[in-house]
A and B are shown apart, each in its own frame.
Chain A
Amino acid sequence: MRPFEYVSPNTRTQAISLLGASWGNAEILAGGTDLLTLMKDDVVAPKRLINIKGIHDLHGVSSNAQGFHIGALTTLGDLADDATVRRNYPALAEALPEAASPQIRNLATLGGNLCQRPRCWYFRNGFGLLPKNETGKELAAGGENRYHAILGNEGPAKFVSPSTLVPILIAYGAKIRLEGPKGKREFPLEKFFVIPKNEGEREHDLRPNEIVTEVVIPPASDVRAAHYEIRQKEVFDWPLAVAGVALRMRGSNVKSARIVMGYVAPVPWPSPEAEQALMGQPINKDTAQRAAEAALTNAKPLSHNAYKVQLARVALRRAILKAASGGVS
C-alpha cells in the first residue's frame, strides 16, 4: 500500500470539503473491506484517506412515514440483526447474512456496499474498468469472461455490478440520498448505477466530493418480496446470478411487480419485460417461467458465459415463485 495522509472529520460538511473536485486524490474510507484491498493491489492510490466513521449522524436506522431510513455507515451485520428489517423487509433480511462473511459484515457499511467497485479481474489487476491492451483491443469481450455481463454489455463495460443487496433494495423501491458542496440529492437507487463509456468514468452517479448519506426504503406491508441468488460456493464467494422481486397483488393476480436482476450487467438490471409479463396474472410455474424468459430475451452472452443466461433465468423464476408463496422457498 502506498503512503497516504489520514483524516477523520466528524461532520458531513468537513468531510465534503476535505474531498477534492476530481477523482484520484482523496478517497472515502468507510468499513474499508473493499477500499483497502484496492489500495493494496495499487488499483486505487489516494493521497488522502477520509475516514467518515466519526460522523455520528450517518450511523444507525430510524423509521417514519416515508419509510425506513438506513444511515450510510450502518454495518451489514447490524442491519442483519435489526428487528425492523426482519419484520418489514424479510427479503432484505434474507439477503444480508448471505453477503460476504460475518467478519466482513461487522466492518462493511451499507454505503460502502453500494459504492464498492466491481470484482472484474481485469479491473482488480490494473487493466482498468474498461480493459484494453496496448493496441486498444478490448480484453474482456473475447478473453476470460465467464463471470462477466450477459446484458447491457454492448459498450466497452463488461463487468457486473457487485452488490447482492442492491437488487432487492431496488425491488423494494429504495431511494438513495447524497450530499455534496452544492447540497443534497435524492433519487431512486437504480439511477445511482451507470454504465461507464470511457475509461476514468465511474460506475456510480457520485461526484468526487459527494458522500452517500442514507438509503430510504418505503413501507412495504402490502408487498410480497423475495431474494434469490445462485453461487458456485454456498458462502464466502460472489454469486453468478441474483434476483430481487417485489409483488403487489390484487386477489390472486399481480397488480404490480418490481423485478431486478444482479450479476448480469454492469448495473443492477431491472426488467420491465418480466414485470409486464406478470401484470394481471396469477403466479404459478408457467407465468414465472414466462416472465423469466422475457427478462433474458435480449441477453447477449460473451465467449465464455452463455451458461449464465440459464442461471439468471432460474434465479428469477425461483425468486418470483418464492415471493408469491410469501417469501419461503
Chain B
Amino acid sequence: MREDDENQKDPNDSPEGPGVSRREFLKISGISVAVPLVAGPRVIKAAGQEVRVYGPGKVPMEFTINGKNYKANLEPRITLLDALRDQFELTGAKRVCDRAECGACTVLLDNKPVYACAMLAIEAQHKAITTVESLMRDGKLHPIQQAFVDNDASQCGFCTPGFVVACKALLDKYPHPTPEDIRRGLSGNLCRCGTYAGIRKAIAQVAQKGA
C-alpha cells in the first residue's frame, strides 16, 4: 500500500480498530448519513455571480452506479475508484497503480471506458457509472466473461475485471474488431501475468458469436 493512502484514511474507519467500525455500524443500523462535519456548499461571488464551493471537508454526493442510486458524504479529494471500493463495496475495479497507468480500475462513464482512479468522485455525479459487477445477469456470466473462462484468459486475475470492462467497451464500439482495433482498444490495460493471447481469443469468440 502506498504511503499516501494514510492521508485518505479516516482513523475512525479502520477495520482493525476496536469494536464495531463505523462502516459496520452504518450497515447494522441502516443509517446512511451519520457522519459529523458534513457541510453544505459555501456560496461565494465570482464575476458578480454566485458559485458554490465544496469542501475541503465532506460534502453530500449522489451517484448512479449500475442503474442504482448511491449516496455518500465524501471529501472532494476522494477519487471515483476509492468511492466505489471503500464506500459502496464495489471492489471489482482494482486499485493497482492509482496513477492512470495500468487499467485495473477501468469502469464505464456514460458508456465510455475511463480509469476510475483518474477522476474525482465529485465529478462523476450525474453520470451513468457502470462497473464490472453489473455484467453478470440472472446468475449468468456476460458473454465476454464466459469467453475469458473458455479461453483461459486469466491467471492471477488481478487485471481481469479491468480487462473485461475494456473488452466490453471495445466490442460495443467495434462488434467485429480488426487486430488493429484490438491492439488499440486494449492498449490501456496491462497484465503482469501475460494473458494477452487468451484475451485476444476471448474477443474473437465473442466477435464471432455476437455479444
Interface residues of A (CB under 8 A from B): 1-9, 11, 13-18, 29, 31-33, 36-37, 39-42, 48-49, 51, 53, 77, 97, 100-104, 106-107, 234-236
User: Is B106's CB under 8 angstroms from A103's CB?
Assistant: yes
Give Cα A33–Cα B75 distance, bound, in whole angstroms.
Answer: 19
User: Is B55's CB under 8 angstroms from A104's CB?
Assistant: no
User: Is B46's CB under 8 angstroms from A9's CB?
Assistant: yes
Smallest Cβ-Cβ distance to A1: which chain B residue = B77
User: Is B4's CB under 8 angstroms from A42's CB?
Assistant: yes
Give Cα A162–Cα B145 distance, bound, in whole angstroms.
Answer: 37
User: Is A102's CB under 8 angstroms from B4's CB?
Assistant: no
Indicate which residue in B7, B114, B118 contacts A1 across the interface (CB closer than 8 Å). Answer: B7
Give Cα A9–Cα B7 distance, bound, in whole angstroms.
Answer: 27
Interface residues of B (CB under 8 A from A): 4, 7-8, 42, 46-47, 49, 51-57, 75-77, 79, 98-101, 103, 106, 109, 112-115, 117-120, 122-123, 166, 169, 183-185, 187-190
Smallest Cβ-Cβ distance to A104: which chain B residue = B100
User: Is A32's CB under 8 angstroms from B47's CB?
Assistant: no
Additional A-B contact list (7), CB under 8 Å, known A42-B4, A106-B109: A1-B4, A11-B47, A29-B123, A37-B99, A49-B76, A107-B115, A234-B187
19 A–B pairs (Cβ distance < 8 Å), ordered by A = A2-B77, A5-B54, A6-B76, A8-B51, A11-B47, A32-B120, A33-B115, A36-B100, A40-B4, A51-B123, A97-B184, A101-B187, A102-B113, A102-B185, A103-B113, A104-B100, A106-B112, A106-B114, A235-B187
Q: A11-B49, A102-B185 are in contact. Are A32 and B56 (CB under 8 A)?
A: no
Smallest Cβ-Cβ distance to A77: which chain B residue = B112
For residue A282, give the distance in angstroms from its CB to the closest CB of chain B: 32
Give Cα A101–Cα B103 distance, bound, in whole angstroms.
Answer: 9
Give the chain A neighbours of B101 by CB distance below 8 A: 236
Give Cα A79–Cα B101 distance, bound, in whole angstroms.
Answer: 21
Indicate which residue in A4, A100, A103 contacts B55 across the interface (CB closer than 8 Å). Answer: A4
Give the chain A neighbours of B184 by CB distance below 8 A: 97, 102, 235
Smallest Cβ-Cβ distance to B77: which chain A residue = A1
Indicate which residue in B49, B115, B119 contacts A14 across the interface (CB closer than 8 Å). Answer: B49
Give the chain B neighbours of A4 by CB distance below 8 A: 55-56, 76-77
Give the chain A neighbours of B76 by CB distance below 8 A: 3-6, 49
Give Cα A16–Cα B75 distance, bound, in whole angstroms.
Answer: 24
